Amino acid sequence: MARASYRARRIRDTVFKEEDLFGEPAWDMLLDLACAETSGERLSVSSACIGSCAPPTTGLRWLAVLEKRGLVEREEDQFDKRRVYVRLSPKGISKLKEYFRATRTP
């Protein structure tokens, strides 16, 4: 459901062709992280910011908010200390599951 929701948002952006019309970087980031989680992928902080579909500084700001609220966690790359990964926290996973259960159409 997260993948379909994220894809639908990207299609909406393509159809309207208005970069500043829609914007929920935190939600886009959570959806992108959920997609990565289900695929077993790891997202770097840079990739998560790209997934927010916002300028990098905005993505970083929202990533900090999500981390402060306990929805995401950062993890250092053990092989490259310059890279940091980000993933949904257990709370973030739980909240997204709760959201998708609540919005599921019977």
74, HSE (Cβ side, Cα atoms, 13 Å): 16
Averaged pLDDT for residues 65-91 = 93
Domain of 15, CATH number, reads 1.10.10.10
Angstrom distance (rounded) from CA 7 to CA 35: 10
**Cβ neighbours for 68, distance < 8 A, ≥ 6 positions apart:** none
Q: Which of 17-26, 48-57, 64-73 has the lowest mean pLDDT?
A: 17-26
The answer to whether the CB of 29 falls within 8 A of the CB of 52 is yes
pLDDT digits (tens, 9 = 90+) for 65-76: 999 999 999 999
Q: Does the pLDDT value for residue 8 go beyond 90? A: no
The pTM score is 0.82
Residues 1, 81: Cα–Cα separation, whole Å: 34
Q: Which domain holds residue 71?
A: 2-103
Number of domains in the chain: 1
Q: Looking at residue 17, what is its pLDDT?
A: 79
